[in-house]
């Protein structure tokens, strides 16, 4: 926890997630993609969660939200505002105090106009006006509100997803890859909005492959590898050749970024691919 943030909002420790799978016949086995993962987020703090594809970032988000699939076996502790976050509490808070910006646009209802989807959870009397304001804020046209998800581009849908999460009283925002396919202006709007959440006292978990954008707004960065936390460092450590970073793994990831001349040796080992 960084010195500037007093109260821990979310504390995930010793998180393990396994799935029971049926093999050929009736044999069952457990695969365990997450084991020993930890991360904490303070009030008003933005923590970026980065790691290779398949390292377990979305599973972490889904565990906190209580939306893991039925065959998932989850252990460890998730404490929110000092209390264990039970499944019941997760369901009560999701979409209210805990906002989720999912990785996939498939989370939208394919049969409901996007305007109506953004109005869910908004105060009835002002919902339409608020929705239109959100659309304008994210560069969507008023008339787009009447369209169904399949009638919008991927980038537009991502902005719709973001708009569905902006609600009053949000204390924790979990954004899973909120920026791919977003044009630069909307990208800066989304980063600004995430920062705004934090300035209003909410904690933000920003899952992303876009480390450079994350560094613009995050306070700390958690690096996940193969379902475990490798390192959590202050954003200020991501500078120069990464000398201030704690692990060699993170230092090498840092050096693979184009801004840092790439680490050619690491790239040859396939290291660069770990950011994408």
Ligand X SMILES: Nc1ncnc2c1ncn2[C@@H]1O[C@H](COP(=O)(O)OP(=O)(O)OP(=O)(O)O)[C@@H](O)[C@H]1O
Q: Give dist(CA 183, CA 99) in Å, integer.
A: 23
Alpha-carbon span 165 to 155, nearest angstrom: 16
Of the pair 50, 134, the CB lying nearest Mg ion is at 50
Residue 57 Cβ vs Mg ion, minimum distance, rounded to whole Å: 5
Q: How many CB atoms lie within 10 A of CB 59?
A: 22
Q: Which does 236 bind (CB under 5 to 8 A by kind): Mg ion, ligand X, none?
A: none
CB of residue 115 to Mg ion, shortest distance in Å: 27
Is position 16 an interface residue for ligand X (rule: CB under 6 A)? no
> Which residues bind to Mg ion, rule: CB under 5 A?
57-58, 103
Task: Kindly state whether residue 220 participates in binding ligand X, applying the rule CB under 6 A.
Answer: no
Shortest gap between Cβ of 175 and ligand X (angstroms)? 12
Q: Is the separation of the CB atoms in 64 and 94 below 8 Å?
A: no
Chain position carrying tokens 């209390």: 83
Q: Which of 1, 2, 16, 33 binds ligand X (CB under 6 A)?
A: 33
Residue with smaller CB distance to Mg ion, 50 or 93: 50
Q: Which partner, ligand X, Mg ion, none, binds residue 33 by CB below 5 to 8 Å per kind?
A: ligand X
Q: How far apart are CA 15 and CA 253, in angstroms?
A: 24
Judging by beta carbons within 10 Å of its beta carbon (0-12, 13-18, 19+), is residue 188 exposed, middle or buried? middle
Nearest position to Mg ion, beta carbon: 58
CB of 97 to ligand X, least distance (A): 23
The residue within the footprint of ligand X, chosen from 9, 41, 44, 57 (CB under 6 A), is 57
Smallest gap from Cβ 59 to ligand X, in A, equals 4
CA neighbor of 179 nearest in space, from 151, 150, 144, 155: 155
* Total residues binding ligand X (CB under 6 A): 13
Q: CA-CA distance, 75 to 58, in Å (whole number)?
A: 16
Helix (H) or strand (E) holding 233: strand 228-234
How far apart are alpha carbons 276 and 274 in whole angstroms?
6
When asked if residue 69 is in the footprint of ligand X (CB under 6 A), the reply is yes
Which of the stretches 56-64, 75-83, 193-201, 243-251 binds ligand X when contact is defined by CB under 6 A? 56-64
- Give me the residue label for tokens 């303070």: 42
Contacting residue, 37, 50, 55, 164, with ligand X by CB under 6 A: 55
Alpha carbons 161 and 155: distance in angstroms, whole number: 10
Give the footprint of ligand X on residues 35-54 (CB under 6 A). 51, 53-54
Q: What residues contact residue 135 under an 8 Å CB cut-off, 6+ apart? A: 115, 118, 141, 142, 144, 145, 163
Cβ nearer to ligand X, comparing 103 with 193: 103
Is residue 31 near ligand X by the rule CB under 6 A? yes
- For ligand X, the binding residues (CB under 6 A) are 19, 31, 33, 51, 53-59, 69, 103
């Amino acid at each position: 926890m960084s010195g500037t943030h007093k109260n821990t909002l979310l504390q995930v420790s010793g998180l393990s997630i396994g799935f029971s799978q049926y093999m050929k016949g009736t044999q069952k086995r457990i695969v365990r993609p997450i084991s020993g993962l930890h991360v904490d987020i303070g009030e008003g703090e933005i923590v970026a969660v980065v790691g290779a594809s398949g390292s377990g970032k979305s599973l972490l988000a889904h565990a906190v939200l209580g939306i893991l699939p039925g065959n998932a076996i989850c252990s460890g502790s998730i404490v929110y505002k000092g209390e264990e976050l039970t499944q019941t509490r997760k369901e009560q808070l999701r979409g209210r105090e805990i906002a989720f910006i999912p990785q996939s646009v498939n989370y939208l209802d394919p049969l409901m106009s996007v305007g109506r989807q953004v109005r869910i959870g908004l105060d009835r009397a002002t919902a339409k006006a608020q929705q239109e304001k959100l659309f304008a804020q994210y560069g969507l046209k008023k008339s787009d509100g009447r369209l169904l998800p399949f009638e919008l581009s991927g980038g537009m849908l991502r902005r719709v997803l973001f708009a569905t999460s902006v609600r009053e009283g949000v204390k924790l925002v979990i954004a899973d890859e909120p920026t791919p396919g977003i044009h630069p202006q909307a990208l800066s709007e989304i980063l600004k909005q995430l920062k705004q959440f934090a300035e209003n006292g909410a904690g933000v978990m920003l899952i992303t492959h876009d480390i450079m954008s994350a560094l613009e707004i995050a306070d700390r960065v958690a690096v996940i590898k193969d379902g475990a936390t490798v390192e959590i460092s202050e954003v200020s450590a991501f500078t120069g050749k990464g000398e201030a970073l704690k692990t060699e793994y993170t230092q090498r990831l840092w050096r693979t970024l184009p801004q840092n001349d790439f680490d050619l040796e690491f790239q040859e080992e396939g290291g660069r691919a770990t950011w994408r």
